[in-house]
Structure 1
Amino acid sequence: MRLTIRTTVAAVAALAAATAATVVASPASAESAGQGHRAAAKKPTATPFALRAWGYSSRIVGGDIPTASGATGFESISCTNKAGLDRTNDLADVALPGLGTISAAATEVWTTRDAGVVSSWARNTIGKVVLSDSPLGTLSLDAVSTTARAYHDGTTFRTSTHTDLAKLTFQPPIGPAQTLPIPTPGQPVTIPGFAKVTIGHSRTPKTKDGARAFANGIKISLLATHTDVRVAHAVAQIGSGVQTALFTGSSYALGGKAAGDVVHLGRNPLLKMPCTGTDGEIQARSLTGLDLGGQVVAGVAKSEQRSDQNGRKAWGFERSSVASIAVTDQLRIEGVVGQVNVARRGEHLRTLTRSTKGTTIGRVIVNGQPQEFPDLGVLEIPGVAKLETAVTQELKNGLAVTALRITLLDGTGAVIDLGNARFQVRRSAR
């Protein structure tokens, strides 16, 4: 992890170019970054590696400001084995509800192949971040950038990350603005009563089969609202094992939203399918129980996945289940399972099959009495909830299902999704 501290604020228009020239400290690495952009402009070509990259400008996590929890300026390259891809998402200005603004932001993700080196890149640059927690003051960050790279140099997997911050300023309610010292990695700067600022948090795990470069440029913990603001996030990933297909998928037993789409319940327990699959092994994650607040309590929740590929077939499934869920003391549902199965077969894996076989609802009990779903798959318990079974979405190269969707009829607008599975199998580039 390298950190560069600038003594002056770069012009916003020149920020992207300046960042590209300082991805890492060594001249060789900087030259590679420039070649990366030139290579990305060429026609995409197949590589033997699975590549992924994504990034965003900001994300609000937890605390008392849930309306701003989404990622801004998000861009990604999903599972691919192609080098030469380049995608960008630009934002002139974006408001962070209840917090402040971000100006002149850009997220770029790209893949390259140059002199036998295959790389996945992600970069986010921001001209200015202004966070106001009035009447406590205003925090400004100028010229923020983060770059992450995961690559194979022809012999082994490697990674690099880089964060750059030009200036950190705090304007108290009374008195002149204060220029604060730039934090060093692992040594945050604290503004008493206002925020703690951490720079350059990164992880770069590597194995013989792949590498991942993860970098949060800046993390700002607002003390009054107990909210974390993550700024300039970048992730790049590379792995071996591509044969004939690439997999994309996820499963989570419980998800949804409450209070009119203001509060999201998250996705738990979440499993994500590796690009090259699980080598035929079942991967699983479980939770012993969840209290979703109010009068909704779920029992054991489990997510599972499995996939494999060879020269003639690529196949797999995503599955999630909930042993039981109680909604108030009137409604109890048992044995919810959502499953998606996708396979490709034949010459060049041209034949695609998909199904939700394995998706099921065990029992629905209302006021102690078992209930049957009507033919249309929608059951309404007046004043309590509306239940929809097997909510299915057909995807390119795959399928998604929610085994049971519960919409509470208590006026809160809460929606709880149980047994969620999503899976796609795409032919790799040749």
Structure 2
Amino acid sequence: MVEVIPTGTTVKLARSMSKLEKGFKTGIFGGSAIPVKAKVLGELVQVGRVVRQVMPCLGTDGELVATDAADVNLGDQVVVQAASARQKGKQTNRRAVGTEVARIAKLDLGDGALVLDAIESRAKVTRLKSGKLKRSASAKVGAITAGGGDAQSLEELDGLEIPGLLKIETGLRKKIKDGIRMIGLRITLLDGTGAVIDLATSKMTIADR
């Protein structure tokens, strides 16, 4: 375990896991919902007690699986409140459908310089028995305020930079093999640490069995 003092992050190294599954009908599920993750010193790390929910290979048998985490403080510059992840996956002999959702109740940047409520990303994939794949992903923010009260739109937020503090990118959608990924909000810290923080990341894949 390595602690990065400037950002208060902890890096866990050398973790592995394996598992055998059977019972696939239409596809093999994959994906995850991660409310907060950060890249520090060139490595992708988990920050604090942040949720990382991974989709089982067989899905969840149609059940909604939820995981929640406590608040996360990234060096007093970025404060995340009530991070959560939701996932659901089901397959029949005709189709497989999977959804991943990552949410953050509130994000405070620069001690109130910019406050965002209800950040969410969603990724959904459907694979038909014929092999056809359908992908969709979305990102949204419920409310955005700057400097204690000035309203902002999601479009205005994209590309926003607070000199010496951070810059922001929104709605980073990427088509990946057998699925799709959506990053709701990306923050790059400009304080010299080189940290990149991704908020509300949802990824969903369904491979042909």
TM-score (norm 2): 0.85
Among residues 119, 124, 132, which one is paired with 1:336 in the alignment? Answer: 119
Match of 1:99 in 2: none
- The one-letter code matched in structure 2 to 1:350 is G
The structural deviation recorded for 1:271 is 0.5
The 3 A distance-change label for structure 1 pair 365 and 234 is: closer
CA contact (8 A) 2:99 2:125 kept: yes
Residue aligned with 1:325, SS:
strand
Match of 2:2 in 1: 62
Residue aligned with 1:300, SS:
strand
CA contact (8 A) 1:349 1:427 kept: no
User: How many residues are matched?
Assistant: 202
Match of 1:352 in 2: 133
The 3 A distance-change label for structure 1 pair 363 and 315 is: same
Among residues 143, 150, 173, which one is paired with 1:392 in the alignment? Answer: 173
After superposing the two structures, state which structure 1 stretch, 367-376 or 284-293, moved more: 367-376
Q: Structure 1 CA distance, aligned partners of 2:3 and 2:166?
A: 29
Superposition RMSD on alpha carbons, in Å? 2.6
Residue aligned with 2:28, SS:
strand
Q: Structure 2 CA distance, aligned partners of 1:275 and 1:299?
A: 30
Q: What do residues 23-48 of structure 1 show as CA deviations (whole Å, max 9, x unaligned)? A: xxxxxxxxxxxxxxxxxxxxxxxxxx
The 3 A distance-change label for structure 1 pair 325 and 63 is: closer
CA contact (8 A) 2:2 2:12 kept: no
1:362 correspondence with 2:145: no
Q: Structure 1 CA distance, aligned partners of 2:161 and 2:98?
A: 34
Give unpaired runs (5+ residues) of structure 2. Answer: 6-10
Q: Structure 1 CA distance, aligned partners of 2:4 and 2:39?
A: 16
The 3 A distance-change label for structure 1 pair 276 and 262 is: closer
CA contact (8 A) 2:123 2:204 kept: yes
Q: Structure 1 CA distance, aligned partners of 2:183 and 2:144?
A: 16
Give unpaired runs (5+ residues) of structure 1. Answer: 1-60, 72-229
Residue aligned with 1:350, SS:
coil
1:415 correspondence with 2:208: no
Q: Structure 2 CA distance, aligned partners of 1:375 and 1:326?
A: 17
Residue aligned with 2:19, SS:
strand
Within-5 A mapping of 1:276-291: 276-291=58-73
The structural deviation recorded for 1:273 is 0.5
Residue aligned with 2:96, SS:
strand
The structural deviation recorded for 1:328 is 1.9
The structural deviation recorded for 1:64 is 7.4
Query: Identity of counterpart residues, as a percentage?
Result: 33
The list of structure 1 runs, each at least 4 consecutive aligned residues, that deviate by more than 4 angstroms after superposition, is none
